Structure 1
């Protein structure tokens, strides 16, 4: 037997032997799990409320910190979603349905909103997200290798969602697989469908916890600190290695089971990390008064690898199309280790490192000596910068911001193509204008 399975089974047996839990112990266990679940699942998706602010909001109805109203509202809506999910799991007379899953999405998103998108030809646009409604447009994600990973098409969604719950019913009926295997497959199958325009990650984690709660296990928490490991396990599952996702979920279930056993025995379930969260909150509040926070390396480097590298490669290719108009092109690139002068050629894309201390990448293109019969052949310079802040990144061209997002929303391939096309168009327009003046 898989050692992870054996550990989980032993802990579940231990927990079952000391149940039922006292009312007070059950309340303190659930309060802790509920708060952790709300905080981490939303934080993974870009919500910036701290753990302390989450506690203040959900337990006391008070707000603290400089956050958007939407961030407070989505945290409260997610809490309502957890309560609804708990009721669904308690009903052993039936299994969750696609309609129930749509209701979960409707609850956590709460109300329609507009989301930035792009047209097929790369122009900025927006689309309305309707909570609880399946997607009407294709969705995809840019992988770390720069490849575009397409989820199920809108036409496939209804049938694949029905197949998802049918497969869950079969797995629970024949009991041929361990609950971790069933949970990993359920999570991964849902992610492959990505049925909604927004909220898919939170609903995926809710589905896993629906399974655990229905089978009398405590819910798991996917810690925001382990987001990279979590996403890596999902990518490995894409490649057919479901065991990695099983192992990741197993570690979280082991932690929750140990917590439940401790609570059932009347032991303290206050972890050092809970106290540390409060200390971190206080320090952050004090430091933020005088200091601008920089993004963490474990957030910044994956973003650079998955978004910035493909962007720079695409930008370089497009900017080079103007080369025949000039005697020479040069690139001044600031990559965190000073400035590097490069001549444009296919191998000249600059090395991209985690940026310290400037907190940005800068790419200055110089088009030298317009090849014209005019005596005063001109030179044209243009600059593209990507600035990295604590809350997210911003990309600007000659000082005009083209995109600003949290790190949880990387640049997709279509977005990269659209932005670089706009930069090329603006640059070409400026050059053509200068050429008209000197011609």
Structure 2
């Protein structure tokens, strides 16, 4: 069949029943076998892909990038091919490291960016991490190369077996993992790479509710259905590649077919679709995890457009890097340079002794040049909520370094030191039926091997004592705290 330059613009095949309405006595999912999220949702994505409908499911999304702009960036990127060997190498070094580091870190891997680079580029290890974390980082790197190879082969379509293989590759070998019984009792379960779940893997939400994924019995048929739809869309596109990738990601995680590695496989599938369509891989950054999860929650509620728009912004960022690299321009960000310096300094140390110990001098420097600026940024962001409250309270940051230094000198033998500050908002004056108050507590924990930024008891970021909290990291942390406060 002849293809247009944008095959996803062609009209879809006619439906046998009214779009958006299930056949009598059947659910949307039972009726709509071609598009597992339902006819109505697919029709909205298709219209947006063709430019006949603006993809909105609520208020304007702050990260919106129109499909036309994204396609223009893709075309500009394609026109600059081929890249020189040098420019190709530095672009893929960045994409490879970011993809590996962030996709694993989002799921709980504790290797730093510098440790990821040492491991993947220099085959060296440092830090005090479990063997499993090093193994998964290297295995994920193999998974990325496998996904790139699959995407480059235009003669074959991805299969359900390929999806299982991706999970098998990134998990590497069987292992035991902590789990919970149906009645909430702690237990352990063996994880078999590439094998569909054999027990429920539903999750308990922070408020105590259970979020249900596909049952063990429903997983094989639903994965077969998803794979069949995916192959049809790959062969005869009706959606823009980013809309396709977002829908594939969401449908996959709603099934949650594996006992472990579902998020990483979902992001590998997203980038398989993008690479096959001439785009560059998008990177979901660990600092932006709150926005990522919010977009997924909105998709769960039927607002798939939020996830599409979020992915649009990330795909545009990667294309902008690619265009800069192709033109010989710098693609380094300030945080990248700082990371490279940290790696160089660490590499010059004979024997690589591991993380440096905590000292009063180091802590004072980290506070003066990292933690204190972070709190000033956070203070500015949270101040945007002040007009909604009659009274606010915030910490005095000015003398933090001096106070911490005195405490450390007097308690140098203590196992750790934690500094907590509360931001209080009293007497809501907005349009809610009843006034309310809320507080958020930010904690900096200076422990023997590292220091951690925490919000209401949750660790947001851990760093070594030779790693300064950068301005970019501070901006992302402050933004995630503001978002969490706003969503209360």
Once the 2 structures are TM-superposed, how far is the Cα of residue 278 of structure 1 from its aligned partner?
4.3
**Structure 2 counterpart SS, 1:220:** coil
| Residue 243 (str. 1) matches residue 282 (str. 2) | no
Return closer, same or farther for 1:145/1:56 CA change in 2, 3 Å cut-off: same
Whole-angstrom distance in 2 between the partners of 1:90 and 1:47: 29
Equivalence map 1:157-172=2 (5 Å): 157-172=219-234
Once the 2 structures are TM-superposed, how far is the Cα of residue 35 of structure 1 from its aligned partner?
0.8
Equivalent of 1:5, from 54, 57, 67?
A: 67
Contact 1:43 1:224 (8 Å CA) reproduced: yes
Give the alignment's Cα RMSD to 1 decimal.
3.2
Structure 1, unaligned runs of 5 or more: 298-334, 338-350, 360-385, 393-439
Return closer, same or farther for 1:6/1:103 CA change in 2, 3 Å cut-off: same
Equivalent of 1:217, from 279, 304, 307?
A: 279
| Residue 86 (str. 1) matches residue 148 (str. 2) | yes
Once the 2 structures are TM-superposed, how far is the Cα of residue 208 of structure 1 from its aligned partner?
0.2
Alignment match, 1:97: 159
Alignment match, 2:317: 255
**Structure 2 counterpart SS, 1:354:** strand
Alignment match, 2:294: 232
Equivalent of 2:116, from 40, 46, 54?
A: 54
Whole-angstrom distance in 2 between the partners of 1:246 and 1:122: 35
Contact 2:78 2:278 (8 Å CA) reproduced: no
Structure 2, unaligned runs of 5 or more: 1-50, 55-64, 347-353, 376-419, 423-437, 447-455, 463-488
| Residue 129 (str. 1) matches residue 191 (str. 2) | yes
Alignment match, 1:266: 328
Question: Considering only CA atoms, is the larger Rg found in Structure 1 or Structure 2?
Answer: 1
Whole-angstrom distance in 2 between the partners of 1:110 and 1:354: 39
**Structure 1 counterpart SS, 2:177:** strand
Equivalent of 1:107, from 166, 169, 172?
A: 169
- CA deviations over 1:295-323 (Å, ceiling 9, x no partner): 999xxxxxxxxxxxxxxxxxxxxxxxxxx
Whole-angstrom distance in 1 between the partners of 2:91 and 2:316: 15
Equivalence map 1:304-319=2 (5 Å): none
Once the 2 structures are TM-superposed, how far is the Cα of residue 253 of structure 1 from its aligned partner?
0.3
Whole-angstrom distance in 2 between the partners of 1:178 and 1:145: 36
How many residues are treated as equivalent by the alignment?
A: 318
Alignment match, 1:33: 95
Contact 1:82 1:206 (8 Å CA) reproduced: yes
Contact 2:214 2:255 (8 Å CA) reproduced: yes
Whole-angstrom distance in 1 between the partners of 2:124 and 2:290: 31
Contact 1:52 1:278 (8 Å CA) reproduced: yes
Once the 2 structures are TM-superposed, how far is the Cα of residue 50 of structure 1 from its aligned partner?
0.9
Once the 2 structures are TM-superposed, how far is the Cα of residue 88 of structure 1 from its aligned partner?
1.1
- CA deviations over 1:219-278 (Å, ceiling 9, x no partner): 111111100000000000000001110111111100110111111122222222211334
Contact 1:336 1:358 (8 Å CA) reproduced: no
| TM superposition score normalised by structure 1 | 0.66
Alignment match, 2:244: 182
